[in-house]
Amino acid sequence: MNYFQRFVSAAFILSITSVANSAVITTQLEDVTNGGGFFGEVTFSDSGTDTVNISADISDPINADLTQGDILAIWFDFADFSALSGSPTITNENPSGIVVDSFFGEDSVSSSLGGNLNLEGTGETNWDFAVITGSAGPDFYQTLSFDLTIDGLDANQFSNQRVGMRVQSIPENYFEEGSSKLIGIGRPPVEVPEPGTLGLLGLGIIGLLTARRKAQKKL
């Protein structure tokens, strides 16, 4: 195999690897304790070795006309807990200091983190991880994000896994605050390669076909 063939073959492998490693998992959540109608979104994306950025959002337009809201706590499951080791580390919090406490253990995290930070009424228990991210004011966070680092972690650990969220919500024209307990399942999007990736993929296929023809001629 000549130099060009080696190059395009390597490009072919690189293009497939780059698509496979660009996991972004998006979870759509809905309130299951008040008859639905209140929503949330949590996104998981790779942010370095063993690190996943987790972003949560309940703002408009996810919830139209939402004037105030506070994401109080979020619960997670991992696809393969045995692939993880060590203790979790949380960094790059936005807003700064939003994570008050975290809990970690396979099927051992309670659906109640104390006080009103619970998922009672959802029927969902025995979680792998949870974070407390709010305190019911005076600051109300409709969007937040942080990086979670655990040895062996990547975004695919959240694919097809449960996510729970406790929210204090105050929609427009409501005189009393509401409490929402949301549940969702993380879904990976359909991978769409970028144009550059498609070009590398094409070069790789050409290289492999050329090498195959030359090998057949030698037989």
pLDDT digits (tens, 9 = 90+) for 11-58: 444 444 444 455 899 999 999 998 888 999 999 999 999 999 999 999
Report the mean per-residue pLDDT for the chain. 81
Given a cut of 80, is residue 180 above it in pLDDT?
Answer: yes
Tokens read off for 68: 């105030």
Contact present, 207 and 9 (Cβ < 8 Å): yes
Tokens read off for 175: 């005189």
Buried b (16+ CB within 10 A) or exposed e, 47-81: beebbbbbebbbeeebbeebeebbbbbbbbbbeeb
Q: Kindly report the backbone phi and psi dihedral angles of residue 196, in degrees, each rounded to the nearest multiple of 5, phi listed first.
A: -65, -40
pTM for this predicted structure = 0.76
Confidence of residue 10 (pLDDT cuts 50, 70, 90): very low
Percent of the chain with pLDDT over 70: 70
Report the pLDDT averaged over residues 146-163. 97
Rg, C-alpha atoms of the chain:
22
